[in-house]
Amino acid sequence: VEGCGKSTQTRALVDWLRLRGHTVTLTREPGGTEVGERCRDILLDTGHAGMRPGTELFLYLASRAEHVAKVIVPRLEAGEVVISDRYGDASVAYQGGGRGLGHKLVDELNQVATGGVKPDVTFLLDLDPEVGLDRLVRGRGEHARVCIEGEVLEFHKRVREAYLECAAREPDRFVVLDASRSPEKIEARITAEVEKLLSDVR
Ligand code: TMP
């Protein structure tokens, strides 16, 4: 969810893992590869705001397909820990829920893009979008504030709901965290879960 503090948590987790001697690849979506970063530039260019939901979905999937084949699988095969700042669930939440394409279609296309590669664990930093968007626009003036009302807010509420539905469908993979808690508490919970996962692997 926007404004949930995922970049801070991602960095903290990577530092924690490296301190314990793990080799970690930190990557992100859209992006993570040359083609993926080009997709990211197209997707996040505000001049393209009128893009069709299907066009948007295929660009995210294109970025993901490259990302899985060129970064995620090779790094995992090399024995590394891979942390991705967003992955397939983001398409289910934003394009499936937010844009109304539905989770079934997005699940199927994600399967094509990833060949079925899924994370061992997914942390969902859950937050009321009003609080998250407020964090993002704080200090940016009245214009920014107007941008987070009405349709934009409704969109992000659908995204949040779709993320929570993803978590409900796969409770073994997801850890849902209350992102309104302090960053230290969230970090402690994330590292505890990862520690458990790593000891199961050993
Ligand atoms: P962020 O990760 O820096 O917040 O920016 C990525 C943006 O892209 C964010 O608004 C969520 C959006 N997104 C999708 O809509 N679908 C996707 O599949 C992914 C990976 C991201």
- Give residue 62 CA to ligand 1 midpoint distance, Å: 13
In 80-178, DSSP assigns E strands to 81-85, 122-126, 174-178
Is residue 98 within 8 Å of 129, Cβ to Cβ? no
pLDDT at 149: 73
Report the C-alpha gap between 19 and 34 in whole angstroms. Answer: 29
Tokens describing residue 149: 């009302």
Using DSSP's 3-state secondary structure scheme, residue 100 falls into: coil
Cα 90 to averaged position of ligand 1 atoms, centre (Å)? 6
In the prediction, which pLDDT does 55 show?
97
Residues 6+ apart with CB under 8 A from 109: 57, 61, 91
Residues 105 and 86 sit within 8 Å (Cβ to Cβ): no
Q: How much is the pLDDT for 37?
A: 95
How many angstroms is it from 21 CA to the middle of ligand 1? 30
pLDDT at 132: 93
Q: In terms of Cα–Cα distance, which of 163, 28, 152 is closest to 92?
A: 163
Question: Which pLDDT score is estimated for 146?
Answer: 64
Give the closest residue (by CA) to ligand 1 atom 19: 90
| 90 touches ligand 1 (CB under 6 Å) | yes
| Cβ of 29 below 6 Å from ligand 1 | yes
Q: Is the CB of 86 under 6 A from ligand 1?
A: yes
SS3 26: strand
The series of mean pLDDT values per 10 residues for the chain, 202 residues long, is: 94 97 96 96 92 97 98 98 97 98 98 98 97 86 69 94 98 98 98 93 72
- How far away, in angstroms, is 15 Cα from ligand 1 center? 23
10 lines ligand 1 (CB under 6 A): no
Ligand 1 within 6 A of CB of 94: yes
Q: What phi, psi does 124 have (nearest 5°)? A: -105, 115
pLDDT value, residue 25:
97
pTM, 2 dp? 0.95
Cα 30 to ligand 1 centre (Å) = 6
Query: Among the atoms of ligand 1, which is closest to the Cα of residue 88?
Result: 18
pLDDT for residue 154: 95
Contacts of residue 157, Cβ cutoff 8 Å, sequence gap at least 6: 129
Of 148, 95, 72, 89, nearest in space to 124 by CA: 89
Beta bridge partners of 25: 82
Chain segment 18-75, per-residue pLDDT in tens: 999 999 999 999 999 999 999 999 999 989 888 999 999 999 999 999 999 999 999 9
Please give the pLDDT value at position 200: 81
Give helix 34-44 / helix 53-67 axis angle, nearest 10°. 160
SS3 122: strand
